[in-house]
Structure 1
Amino acid sequence: MQIGFVGTGRMGLPMVRRLIAGGHQVRALTRSAESRDVVAAEGAEAVADISEVGLDSDVVIVCVFTDEQVLEVCLKGTLIASMPPGSALVIHTTGSPATATEIAQRAKPFGVRVVDAPVSGGPHNIAAGELTMFAGGDPEVVEQVRPALQCYGDRILPVGALGNGQRVKLVNNALFAAQIGLLREGVRLGAELGIDETTLLGALPYASSNSRVLTGVAARGSVSAFSTAVGEFVDKDVAVVRRVATELGSELGLIDEVIGSRFDSAGVSAPTA
Protein backbone atom coordinates (compact mmCIF):
# COMPACT_ATOMS: atom_id res chain seq x y z
CA MET A 1 0.00 0.00 0.00
CA GLN A 2 0.98 3.62 -0.51
CA ILE A 3 0.65 5.29 2.87
CA GLY A 4 0.84 8.96 3.75
CA PHE A 5 1.91 9.82 7.29
CA VAL A 6 1.64 13.00 9.36
CA GLY A 7 3.30 13.17 12.78
CA THR A 8 6.67 11.42 12.87
CA GLY A 9 7.34 12.03 16.55
CA ARG A 10 7.66 9.81 19.60
CA MET A 11 4.82 7.53 18.48
CA GLY A 12 4.73 8.21 14.76
CA LEU A 13 8.33 7.44 13.83
CA PRO A 14 8.26 3.85 15.13
CA MET A 15 4.94 3.40 13.29
CA VAL A 16 6.62 4.52 10.07
CA ARG A 17 9.45 2.09 10.77
CA ARG A 18 7.02 -0.81 11.19
CA LEU A 19 5.02 0.16 8.09
CA ILE A 20 8.16 0.09 5.95
CA ALA A 21 9.23 -3.23 7.47
CA GLY A 22 5.77 -4.52 6.53
CA GLY A 23 6.43 -3.77 2.86
CA HIS A 24 4.42 -0.57 2.53
CA GLN A 25 5.59 2.58 0.78
CA VAL A 26 5.45 5.55 3.12
CA ARG A 27 5.42 9.26 2.30
CA ALA A 28 5.80 11.34 5.46
CA LEU A 29 5.41 15.04 6.18
CA THR A 30 8.54 16.68 7.61
CA ARG A 31 9.01 20.27 8.76
CA SER A 32 12.79 20.49 9.14
CA ALA A 33 15.97 19.23 7.52
CA GLU A 34 16.68 17.20 10.63
CA SER A 35 13.33 15.39 10.59
CA ARG A 36 13.65 14.91 6.83
CA ASP A 37 16.96 13.14 7.31
CA VAL A 38 15.56 10.95 10.09
CA VAL A 39 12.53 9.92 8.04
CA ALA A 40 14.60 9.30 4.92
CA ALA A 41 17.02 7.15 6.91
CA GLU A 42 14.09 4.90 7.80
CA GLY A 43 13.32 4.38 4.13
CA ALA A 44 10.32 6.69 3.80
CA GLU A 45 9.87 9.47 1.28
CA ALA A 46 10.06 12.81 3.09
CA VAL A 47 7.92 15.70 1.80
CA ALA A 48 7.52 19.24 3.08
CA ASP A 49 4.08 20.06 1.66
CA ILE A 50 0.94 18.60 3.26
CA SER A 51 -0.68 18.22 -0.16
CA GLU A 52 2.05 15.77 -1.20
CA VAL A 53 1.27 13.40 1.67
CA GLY A 54 -2.06 12.33 0.23
CA LEU A 55 -1.07 11.97 -3.43
CA ASP A 56 -1.77 8.43 -4.67
CA SER A 57 -2.13 7.26 -1.07
CA ASP A 58 -4.39 4.35 -0.22
CA VAL A 59 -4.33 5.38 3.44
CA VAL A 60 -3.21 8.54 5.23
CA ILE A 61 -2.41 8.23 8.94
CA VAL A 62 -2.44 11.24 11.27
CA CYS A 63 -0.58 10.81 14.56
CA VAL A 64 -0.10 14.28 16.04
CA PHE A 65 -0.33 15.28 19.70
CA THR A 66 -3.50 17.34 20.13
CA ASP A 67 -7.02 17.61 18.79
CA GLU A 68 -6.23 21.14 17.63
CA GLN A 69 -3.32 19.83 15.55
CA VAL A 70 -5.61 17.23 13.95
CA LEU A 71 -8.01 19.98 12.90
CA GLU A 72 -5.10 22.09 11.62
CA VAL A 73 -3.75 19.22 9.53
CA CYS A 74 -7.06 17.92 8.18
CA LEU A 75 -9.24 21.00 7.78
CA LYS A 76 -7.00 24.01 7.25
CA GLY A 77 -4.79 22.58 4.53
CA THR A 78 -5.05 20.62 1.30
CA LEU A 79 -4.53 17.13 2.71
CA ILE A 80 -8.02 15.75 2.13
CA ALA A 81 -8.42 17.44 -1.26
CA SER A 82 -5.18 15.82 -2.42
CA MET A 83 -6.26 12.28 -1.45
CA PRO A 84 -7.70 10.05 -4.18
CA PRO A 85 -11.37 9.01 -4.04
CA GLY A 86 -11.74 5.69 -2.22
CA SER A 87 -8.79 6.31 0.06
CA ALA A 88 -9.07 6.38 3.86
CA LEU A 89 -7.89 8.74 6.58
CA VAL A 90 -6.93 7.28 9.98
CA ILE A 91 -6.80 9.50 13.07
CA HIS A 92 -4.67 8.09 15.89
CA THR A 93 -4.69 11.21 18.05
CA THR A 94 -6.91 11.10 21.14
CA GLY A 95 -9.45 13.89 20.98
CA SER A 96 -13.11 14.77 20.70
CA PRO A 97 -15.49 12.47 18.79
CA ALA A 98 -16.84 15.65 17.20
CA THR A 99 -13.47 16.19 15.51
CA ALA A 100 -13.67 12.86 13.70
CA THR A 101 -17.24 13.62 12.62
CA GLU A 102 -16.34 17.09 11.35
CA ILE A 103 -13.41 15.74 9.36
CA ALA A 104 -15.54 12.94 7.89
CA GLN A 105 -18.14 15.47 6.73
CA ARG A 106 -15.44 17.54 5.07
CA ALA A 107 -13.92 14.44 3.47
CA LYS A 108 -17.14 12.94 2.10
CA PRO A 109 -17.39 15.13 -1.04
CA PHE A 110 -13.88 14.01 -1.99
CA GLY A 111 -14.75 10.32 -1.63
CA VAL A 112 -12.40 9.98 1.36
CA ARG A 113 -13.61 8.00 4.38
CA VAL A 114 -12.42 8.31 7.96
CA VAL A 115 -11.56 5.95 10.80
CA ASP A 116 -10.85 7.25 14.28
CA ALA A 117 -8.40 4.80 15.84
CA PRO A 118 -6.84 6.19 19.02
CA VAL A 119 -4.14 3.96 20.43
CA SER A 120 -3.34 2.40 23.79
CA GLY A 121 0.34 1.71 24.42
CA GLY A 122 3.68 3.36 23.87
CA PRO A 123 6.68 3.27 21.53
CA HIS A 124 7.83 -0.06 22.97
CA ASN A 125 4.46 -1.60 22.06
CA ILE A 126 4.72 -0.19 18.54
CA ALA A 127 8.23 -1.62 18.13
CA ALA A 128 6.92 -5.04 19.16
CA GLY A 129 3.84 -4.77 16.91
CA GLU A 130 1.63 -4.98 20.00
CA LEU A 131 -0.28 -1.70 20.02
CA THR A 132 -4.01 -1.67 20.79
CA MET A 133 -6.33 0.47 18.67
CA PHE A 134 -10.01 1.30 19.16
CA ALA A 135 -11.37 1.66 15.63
CA GLY A 136 -14.52 3.68 15.05
CA GLY A 137 -16.05 3.84 11.60
CA ASP A 138 -17.66 1.83 8.81
CA PRO A 139 -16.55 -1.82 9.19
CA GLU A 140 -15.62 -1.88 5.52
CA VAL A 141 -13.24 1.05 5.99
CA VAL A 142 -11.77 -0.46 9.15
CA GLU A 143 -10.93 -3.57 7.12
CA GLN A 144 -9.53 -1.39 4.35
CA VAL A 145 -6.97 0.15 6.70
CA ARG A 146 -6.26 -3.01 8.72
CA PRO A 147 -3.27 -4.12 6.56
CA ALA A 148 -1.52 -0.88 7.51
CA LEU A 149 -2.53 -0.80 11.18
CA GLN A 150 -1.64 -4.43 11.82
CA CYS A 151 2.00 -3.61 11.06
CA TYR A 152 2.26 -2.10 14.53
CA GLY A 153 -0.91 -3.28 16.29
CA ASP A 154 -2.06 -6.74 17.26
CA ARG A 155 -5.42 -5.62 18.64
CA ILE A 156 -7.44 -3.54 16.20
CA LEU A 157 -10.77 -3.50 17.96
CA PRO A 158 -13.84 -2.33 15.99
CA VAL A 159 -16.03 -0.39 18.42
CA GLY A 160 -18.85 0.79 16.21
CA ALA A 161 -19.63 4.09 14.56
CA LEU A 162 -17.19 6.85 13.75
CA GLY A 163 -16.26 8.68 16.95
CA ASN A 164 -16.64 5.60 19.12
CA GLY A 165 -12.90 5.00 19.00
CA GLN A 166 -12.47 8.32 20.78
CA ARG A 167 -15.27 7.60 23.24
CA VAL A 168 -13.75 4.27 24.28
CA LYS A 169 -10.26 5.77 24.53
CA LEU A 170 -11.46 8.68 26.67
CA VAL A 171 -13.14 6.30 29.13
CA ASN A 172 -9.97 4.19 29.14
CA ASN A 173 -7.78 7.19 29.91
CA ALA A 174 -10.11 8.47 32.60
CA LEU A 175 -9.87 5.08 34.32
CA PHE A 176 -6.09 5.03 33.81
CA ALA A 177 -5.75 8.41 35.51
CA ALA A 178 -8.11 7.32 38.28
CA GLN A 179 -5.98 4.24 38.95
CA ILE A 180 -2.95 6.48 39.40
CA GLY A 181 -4.96 8.46 41.93
CA LEU A 182 -6.02 5.28 43.73
CA LEU A 183 -2.43 4.08 43.93
CA ARG A 184 -1.33 7.40 45.37
CA GLU A 185 -3.99 6.97 48.05
CA GLY A 186 -2.84 3.39 48.61
CA VAL A 187 0.74 4.55 49.14
CA ARG A 188 -0.52 7.19 51.57
CA LEU A 189 -2.48 4.57 53.49
CA GLY A 190 0.51 2.24 53.53
CA ALA A 191 2.72 4.97 54.97
CA GLU A 192 0.19 5.63 57.72
CA LEU A 193 0.20 1.91 58.49
CA GLY A 194 3.99 1.88 58.65
CA ILE A 195 4.69 0.29 55.20
CA ASP A 196 7.11 2.20 52.98
CA GLU A 197 6.31 2.66 49.28
CA THR A 198 9.14 0.45 48.02
CA THR A 199 7.98 -2.50 50.10
CA LEU A 200 4.36 -1.97 49.12
CA LEU A 201 5.13 -1.76 45.40
CA GLY A 202 7.30 -4.86 45.63
CA ALA A 203 4.41 -6.89 47.01
CA LEU A 204 1.17 -5.65 45.42
CA PRO A 205 1.92 -6.70 41.80
CA TYR A 206 1.64 -10.33 43.00
CA ALA A 207 -1.74 -9.82 44.63
CA SER A 208 -5.34 -9.34 43.55
CA SER A 209 -4.92 -5.55 43.43
CA ASN A 210 -2.53 -5.81 40.46
CA SER A 211 -3.21 -3.87 37.25
CA ARG A 212 -1.25 -2.54 34.28
CA VAL A 213 -0.93 0.79 36.11
CA LEU A 214 0.36 -0.88 39.26
CA THR A 215 2.88 -2.88 37.24
CA GLY A 216 4.08 0.33 35.58
CA VAL A 217 4.30 2.17 38.90
CA ALA A 218 6.26 -0.69 40.48
CA ALA A 219 8.69 -0.71 37.55
CA ARG A 220 9.30 3.03 37.99
CA GLY A 221 9.76 2.66 41.73
CA SER A 222 7.14 5.17 42.89
CA VAL A 223 3.79 6.67 42.02
CA SER A 224 5.41 10.08 41.58
CA ALA A 225 8.02 8.79 39.12
CA PHE A 226 5.35 7.05 37.05
CA SER A 227 3.08 10.10 37.17
CA THR A 228 5.89 12.31 35.94
CA ALA A 229 6.65 9.92 33.07
CA VAL A 230 3.07 9.76 31.78
CA GLY A 231 1.81 13.12 33.03
CA GLU A 232 2.09 15.10 29.79
CA PHE A 233 -0.03 12.61 27.88
CA VAL A 234 -2.55 11.76 30.58
CA ASP A 235 -3.03 15.44 31.45
CA LYS A 236 -4.00 16.20 27.85
CA ASP A 237 -6.43 13.31 27.68
CA VAL A 238 -8.02 14.03 31.06
CA ALA A 239 -8.67 17.60 29.90
CA VAL A 240 -10.29 16.25 26.73
CA VAL A 241 -12.54 13.75 28.52
CA ARG A 242 -13.69 16.41 30.99
CA ARG A 243 -14.48 18.79 28.14
CA VAL A 244 -16.27 16.17 26.05
CA ALA A 245 -18.31 14.93 29.01
CA THR A 246 -19.41 18.50 29.73
CA GLU A 247 -20.29 19.11 26.06
CA LEU A 248 -22.44 15.97 26.05
CA GLY A 249 -24.18 16.91 29.31
CA SER A 250 -22.48 14.17 31.30
CA GLU A 251 -19.91 14.04 34.08
CA LEU A 252 -17.16 11.74 35.31
CA GLY A 253 -18.67 11.36 38.75
CA LEU A 254 -16.63 9.27 41.18
CA ILE A 255 -13.93 8.80 38.52
CA ASP A 256 -13.25 12.53 38.57
CA GLU A 257 -12.95 12.55 42.35
CA VAL A 258 -10.25 9.88 42.18
CA ILE A 259 -8.48 11.59 39.30
CA GLY A 260 -8.43 14.73 41.41
CA SER A 261 -5.80 13.22 43.68
CA ARG A 262 -3.37 13.34 40.76
CA PHE A 263 -4.83 15.92 38.39
CA ASP A 264 -6.62 19.18 38.97
CA SER A 265 -8.90 21.02 36.57
CA ALA A 266 -6.03 23.12 35.26
CA GLY A 267 -3.76 20.18 34.46
CA VAL A 268 -1.20 18.00 36.14
CA SER A 269 -0.61 18.75 39.76
CA ALA A 270 2.94 18.80 41.02
CA PRO A 271 4.19 15.32 41.96
CA THR A 272 4.44 14.74 45.66
CA ALA A 273 6.64 12.38 47.62
Structure 2
Amino acid sequence: MHIGFIGAGRMGAPMVRRLTDAGHQVRALGRDDEKRAAIAELGAEPVDSASAAVADAGVTIVCVFTDDQVRELCPDLIDEMPAGSVLVLHTTGSPRTAEALAERGAARGIAVVDAPVSGGPHDIAAGTVTVFAGGDDDAVARAREVLTSYADPVLHVGPVGAGQRVKLVNNALFAAQIGAVAEGVRLGDRLGIDEATLLTALTHGSAASRALGGIAATGSADAFIARVGEFIGKDVAVVRRTASELDSDLGRLEDLLDAALK
Protein backbone atom coordinates (compact mmCIF):
# COMPACT_ATOMS: atom_id res chain seq x y z
CA MET A 1 0.00 0.00 0.00
CA HIS A 2 1.09 3.60 -0.63
CA ILE A 3 1.45 5.33 2.75
CA GLY A 4 2.12 8.95 3.58
CA PHE A 5 3.96 9.57 6.84
CA ILE A 6 4.37 12.79 8.81
CA GLY A 7 6.52 12.70 11.95
CA ALA A 8 9.34 10.19 11.45
CA GLY A 9 10.97 11.01 14.77
CA ARG A 10 11.56 9.08 17.99
CA MET A 11 8.28 7.15 17.74
CA GLY A 12 7.69 7.53 14.01
CA ALA A 13 11.03 6.24 12.74
CA PRO A 14 10.56 2.64 13.95
CA MET A 15 7.03 2.75 12.51
CA VAL A 16 8.44 3.69 9.11
CA ARG A 17 11.01 0.92 9.34
CA ARG A 18 8.37 -1.69 10.15
CA LEU A 19 6.12 -0.41 7.36
CA THR A 20 8.83 -0.63 4.72
CA ASP A 21 9.97 -4.03 5.98
CA ALA A 22 6.35 -5.21 5.56
CA GLY A 23 6.46 -4.19 1.89
CA HIS A 24 4.52 -0.92 2.04
CA GLN A 25 5.62 2.00 -0.12
CA VAL A 26 6.15 4.89 2.27
CA ARG A 27 6.69 8.56 1.47
CA ALA A 28 7.80 10.41 4.61
CA LEU A 29 8.22 14.11 5.20
CA GLY A 30 11.75 15.31 6.03
CA ARG A 31 12.21 19.00 6.71
CA ASP A 32 15.95 19.11 5.99
CA ASP A 33 18.69 17.10 4.25
CA GLU A 34 19.72 15.30 7.45
CA LYS A 35 16.17 14.14 8.18
CA ARG A 36 15.58 13.11 4.58
CA ALA A 37 18.78 11.06 4.65
CA ALA A 38 17.60 9.33 7.84
CA ILE A 39 14.24 8.55 6.20
CA ALA A 40 15.99 7.03 3.18
CA GLU A 41 17.96 4.77 5.52
CA LEU A 42 14.63 3.48 6.86
CA GLY A 43 13.71 2.31 3.37
CA ALA A 44 11.16 5.06 2.70
CA GLU A 45 11.06 7.75 0.03
CA PRO A 46 11.92 11.12 1.61
CA VAL A 47 9.96 14.17 0.44
CA ASP A 48 10.18 17.81 1.41
CA SER A 49 6.50 18.71 1.69
CA ALA A 50 3.40 17.29 3.34
CA SER A 51 1.49 17.42 0.06
CA ALA A 52 4.13 15.25 -1.61
CA ALA A 53 3.95 12.77 1.28
CA VAL A 54 0.20 12.23 0.93
CA ALA A 55 -0.03 12.16 -2.87
CA ASP A 56 -1.68 8.89 -3.98
CA ALA A 57 -1.53 7.52 -0.39
CA GLY A 58 -4.29 5.16 0.66
CA VAL A 59 -3.40 5.80 4.31
CA THR A 60 -1.64 8.80 5.80
CA ILE A 61 -0.13 8.50 9.27
CA VAL A 62 0.57 11.50 11.50
CA CYS A 63 2.87 10.95 14.48
CA VAL A 64 3.78 14.44 15.73
CA PHE A 65 4.41 15.42 19.35
CA THR A 66 1.50 17.66 20.36
CA ASP A 67 -2.20 18.18 19.76
CA ASP A 68 -1.41 21.77 18.74
CA GLN A 69 0.75 20.43 15.91
CA VAL A 70 -2.09 18.15 14.80
CA ARG A 71 -4.53 21.07 14.72
CA GLU A 72 -2.06 23.20 12.76
CA LEU A 73 -1.04 20.54 10.25
CA CYS A 74 -4.01 18.32 9.56
CA PRO A 75 -6.73 20.60 8.15
CA ASP A 76 -4.50 21.49 5.18
CA LEU A 77 -3.33 17.89 5.00
CA ILE A 78 -6.90 16.65 4.61
CA ASP A 79 -7.36 19.10 1.73
CA GLU A 80 -4.36 17.50 -0.03
CA MET A 81 -5.27 13.86 0.58
CA PRO A 82 -6.93 11.80 -2.16
CA ALA A 83 -10.63 11.09 -1.72
CA GLY A 84 -11.34 7.71 -0.18
CA SER A 85 -8.14 7.63 1.87
CA VAL A 86 -7.70 7.34 5.64
CA LEU A 87 -5.94 9.70 8.04
CA VAL A 88 -4.49 7.99 11.12
CA LEU A 89 -3.63 10.18 14.11
CA HIS A 90 -1.13 8.65 16.55
CA THR A 91 -0.61 11.82 18.60
CA THR A 92 -2.14 11.76 22.07
CA GLY A 93 -4.43 14.75 22.37
CA SER A 94 -8.00 15.99 22.59
CA PRO A 95 -10.82 13.81 21.27
CA ARG A 96 -12.40 17.01 20.03
CA THR A 97 -9.47 17.60 17.71
CA ALA A 98 -10.03 14.19 16.13
CA GLU A 99 -13.77 14.78 15.92
CA ALA A 100 -13.33 18.17 14.23
CA LEU A 101 -10.90 16.70 11.71
CA ALA A 102 -13.29 13.81 11.02
CA GLU A 103 -16.04 16.33 10.27
CA ARG A 104 -13.76 18.22 7.89
CA GLY A 105 -12.63 14.98 6.27
CA ALA A 106 -16.16 13.70 5.73
CA ALA A 107 -16.84 16.62 3.37
CA ARG A 108 -14.00 15.38 1.14
CA GLY A 109 -14.47 11.63 1.53
CA ILE A 110 -11.52 11.32 3.95
CA ALA A 111 -11.97 9.03 6.95
CA VAL A 112 -10.18 9.82 10.22
CA VAL A 113 -9.03 7.27 12.79
CA ASP A 114 -7.67 8.54 16.09
CA ALA A 115 -5.12 5.92 17.11
CA PRO A 116 -3.00 6.90 20.12
CA VAL A 117 -0.41 4.32 21.13
CA SER A 118 0.60 2.82 24.46
CA GLY A 119 4.26 1.85 24.54
CA GLY A 120 7.60 3.19 23.40
CA PRO A 121 9.96 2.99 20.42
CA HIS A 122 11.20 -0.44 21.55
CA ASP A 123 7.62 -1.77 21.46
CA ILE A 124 7.12 -0.35 17.97
CA ALA A 125 10.38 -1.90 16.78
CA ALA A 126 9.21 -5.26 18.14
CA GLY A 127 5.76 -4.89 16.54
CA THR A 128 4.03 -5.02 19.91
CA VAL A 129 2.91 -1.45 20.61
CA THR A 130 -0.77 -1.15 21.57
CA VAL A 131 -3.10 1.06 19.51
CA PHE A 132 -6.46 2.35 20.76
CA ALA A 133 -8.37 3.08 17.55
CA GLY A 134 -11.44 5.27 17.26
CA GLY A 135 -13.39 5.45 14.00
CA ASP A 136 -16.06 3.78 11.94
CA ASP A 137 -15.74 0.07 11.18
CA ASP A 138 -14.59 0.47 7.58
CA ALA A 139 -11.98 3.13 8.34
CA VAL A 140 -10.50 1.14 11.21
CA ALA A 141 -10.44 -2.00 9.07
CA ARG A 142 -8.49 -0.17 6.35
CA ALA A 143 -6.13 1.37 8.88
CA ARG A 144 -5.61 -2.02 10.53
CA GLU A 145 -4.00 -3.36 7.34
CA VAL A 146 -1.22 -0.84 7.93
CA LEU A 147 -1.12 -0.60 11.72
CA THR A 148 -0.50 -4.32 12.19
CA SER A 149 2.94 -3.79 10.64
CA TYR A 150 4.04 -2.42 14.02
CA ALA A 151 1.12 -2.75 16.45
CA ASP A 152 -0.32 -5.73 18.30
CA PRO A 153 -3.00 -5.43 19.51
CA VAL A 154 -4.94 -2.89 17.47
CA LEU A 155 -8.05 -2.35 19.59
CA HIS A 156 -11.15 -0.76 18.05
CA VAL A 157 -12.63 1.03 21.04
CA GLY A 158 -15.46 3.05 19.49
CA PRO A 159 -16.18 6.00 17.16
CA VAL A 160 -13.77 8.81 16.34
CA GLY A 161 -12.47 10.31 19.59
CA ALA A 162 -12.87 7.09 21.57
CA GLY A 163 -9.21 6.21 21.08
CA GLN A 164 -8.18 9.46 22.76
CA ARG A 165 -10.66 8.95 25.59
CA VAL A 166 -9.29 5.47 26.33
CA LYS A 167 -5.73 6.80 26.12
CA LEU A 168 -6.66 9.56 28.58
CA VAL A 169 -7.73 6.96 31.15
CA ASN A 170 -4.69 4.79 30.36
CA ASN A 171 -2.24 7.66 30.86
CA ALA A 172 -3.97 8.86 34.00
CA LEU A 173 -3.73 5.38 35.53
CA PHE A 174 -0.12 4.85 34.45
CA ALA A 175 0.98 8.19 35.91
CA ALA A 176 -1.03 7.47 39.07
CA GLN A 177 0.70 4.10 39.39
CA ILE A 178 4.08 5.84 39.14
CA GLY A 179 2.93 8.26 41.82
CA ALA A 180 1.74 5.39 44.01
CA VAL A 181 5.10 3.62 43.71
CA ALA A 182 6.92 6.86 44.54
CA GLU A 183 4.77 7.23 47.66
CA GLY A 184 5.41 3.58 48.54
CA VAL A 185 9.15 4.15 48.26
CA ARG A 186 8.86 7.12 50.62
CA LEU A 187 6.95 4.92 53.06
CA GLY A 188 9.66 2.27 52.77
CA ASP A 189 12.31 4.88 53.52
CA ARG A 190 10.45 5.92 56.67
CA LEU A 191 10.35 2.23 57.65
CA GLY A 192 14.09 1.88 57.08
CA ILE A 193 13.91 -0.34 53.95
CA ASP A 194 16.51 0.05 51.19
CA GLU A 195 14.78 1.33 48.04
CA ALA A 196 16.36 -1.07 45.55
CA THR A 197 15.61 -4.04 47.82
CA LEU A 198 12.03 -2.88 48.27
CA LEU A 199 11.43 -2.37 44.53
CA THR A 200 12.82 -5.79 43.63
CA ALA A 201 10.72 -7.49 46.29
CA LEU A 202 7.53 -5.71 45.28
CA THR A 203 7.78 -6.89 41.65
CA HIS A 204 7.14 -10.41 43.01
CA GLY A 205 4.12 -9.42 45.08
CA SER A 206 0.54 -8.42 44.45
CA ALA A 207 1.64 -4.79 44.01
CA ALA A 208 3.42 -5.67 40.75
CA SER A 209 2.56 -3.52 37.71
CA ARG A 210 4.17 -2.32 34.51
CA ALA A 211 4.96 0.99 36.21
CA LEU A 212 6.58 -0.76 39.16
CA GLY A 213 8.56 -3.00 36.83
CA GLY A 214 9.95 -0.01 34.95
CA ILE A 215 10.88 1.77 38.17
CA ALA A 216 12.51 -1.36 39.62
CA ALA A 217 14.55 -1.87 36.44
CA THR A 218 15.77 1.73 36.70
CA GLY A 219 16.70 1.26 40.35
CA SER A 220 14.84 4.13 41.97
CA ALA A 221 11.59 6.04 41.64
CA ASP A 222 13.34 9.41 41.37
CA ALA A 223 15.66 8.15 38.61
CA PHE A 224 12.71 6.72 36.66
CA ILE A 225 10.68 9.91 36.98
CA ALA A 226 13.71 11.96 35.89
CA ARG A 227 14.15 9.71 32.84
CA VAL A 228 10.54 9.79 31.69
CA GLY A 229 9.52 13.07 33.30
CA GLU A 230 9.24 15.01 30.02
CA PHE A 231 6.82 12.49 28.59
CA ILE A 232 4.88 11.90 31.81
CA GLY A 233 4.60 15.66 32.31
CA LYS A 234 3.24 16.08 28.77
CA ASP A 235 0.79 13.21 29.24
CA VAL A 236 -0.46 14.50 32.59
CA ALA A 237 -0.96 17.98 31.14
CA VAL A 238 -2.95 16.51 28.24
CA VAL A 239 -5.01 14.37 30.62
CA ARG A 240 -5.88 17.33 32.83
CA ARG A 241 -6.67 19.65 29.94
CA THR A 242 -8.74 17.06 28.09
CA ALA A 243 -10.71 16.07 31.17
CA SER A 244 -11.54 19.74 31.70
CA GLU A 245 -12.57 20.16 28.03
CA LEU A 246 -14.91 17.19 28.45
CA ASP A 247 -16.44 18.72 31.59
CA SER A 248 -14.94 16.03 33.81
CA ASP A 249 -12.20 15.75 36.42
CA LEU A 250 -9.70 13.15 37.59
CA GLY A 251 -11.16 12.68 41.05
CA ARG A 252 -8.89 10.90 43.50
CA LEU A 253 -6.25 10.34 40.83
CA GLU A 254 -5.16 13.99 41.10
CA ASP A 255 -2.98 13.55 44.20
CA LEU A 256 -1.21 10.53 42.68
CA LEU A 257 -0.55 12.45 39.45
CA ASP A 258 1.11 15.16 41.51
CA ALA A 259 3.26 12.51 43.20
CA ALA A 260 4.40 11.24 39.77
CA LEU A 261 5.68 14.69 38.89
CA LYS A 262 7.67 15.38 42.06
- The interval holding the TM-score normalised by the smaller chain is over 0.9
Report how many residues are paired. Answer: 262
Structure-1 separation of matches of 2:118 and 2:247: 26
Query: Could you tell me which residue of structure 2 aligns to residue 234 of structure 1?
Result: 232
CA distance in 2, matches of 1:97, 1:161: 10
Match of 1:219 in 2: 217
Q: Which residue of 2 aligns with 1:194?
A: 192
How many angstroms apart in 1 are the aligned matches of 2:211 and 2:260?
14
- Give per-residue Cα distances to partners, 1:89-127, cap 9 Å, x unaligned: 000000000000111111112110000000000011011
Q: Provide the C-alpha distance between the structure 1 equivalents of 2:174 and 2:224, rounded to a whole number of angstroms.
A: 12
In the alignment, which residue of structure 2 is the partner of 1:266?
A: none
Deviations 1:37-96 (A, max 9, x none): 000122111111111111100000000000001111102x3x212211110000000000
Q: 1: distance between equivalents of 2:43 and 2:122?
A: 20
Alignment of 1:66-215 (within 5 A): 66-75=66-75, 77=76, 79-215=77-213
AA at the equivalent of 1:55: A
Using the TM superposition, give the Cα deviation of residue 225 of structure 1 relative to its aligned residue in structure 2, in angstroms: 1.4
* Structure 2 residue aligned with 1:2: 2
CA distance in 2, matches of 1:139, 1:232: 35
CA distance in 2, matches of 1:167, 1:50: 28
- Indicate yes or no: 2:11 matched with 1:43: no
Deviations 1:15-52 (A, max 9, x none): 00000000000000110110000001221111111111
Deviation for aligned residue 1:259: 0.9
Q: Per the alignment, in what secondary structure is the counterpart of residue 259 of structure 2?
A: coil
For 2:185 and 2:98, locate their aligned partners in 1 and report how far apart those are by CA, in whole Å: 39
TM-score in terms of structure 2 length: 0.98
Q: Percent identity?
A: 59
- Across the aligned residues of Structure 1 and Structure 2, the Cα RMSD in angstroms comes to 0.9
Q: For 1:229 and 1:128, locate their aligned partners in 2 and report how far apart those are by CA, in whole Å.
A: 22
Q: Is the 8 A contact 1:54 1:80 kept in 2?
A: no
Tell me the equivalent position of 1:22. 22
Structure 1 residue 236: Cα displacement: 1.1
User: What is the CA–CA distance in structure 2 between the aligned matches of 1:152 and 1:229, rounded to whole Å?
Assistant: 25
Q: Secondary structure at the match of 1:148?
A: helix
Structure 1 unaligned blocks of 5 or more: 264-268
Q: Structure 1 residue 5: deviation in Å?
A: 0.2
User: 1:216-271: per-residue Cα shift (whole Å, max 9, x none)?
Assistant: 001111111111222111211111111111122211010011111123xxxxx4xx
Query: CA offsets, 1:100-159, max 9 Å, x none?
Result: 011111111211000000000001101110010000010111011111100001100000
- The residue type equivalent to 2:163 in the other structure is G
List alignment gaps of at least 5 residues for structure 2: none
Rounded to whole Å, the distance in 1 between the matches of 2:72 and 2:58 is 21
For residues 110 and 234 of structure 1, the distance between their equivalents in structure 2, rounded to whole angstroms, comes to 36
1:58 aligned partner, one-letter code: G
The equivalent residue for 1:65 is 65
TM-score (norm 1): 0.94
One-letter amino acid of the structure 1 residue matched with residue 68 of structure 2: E
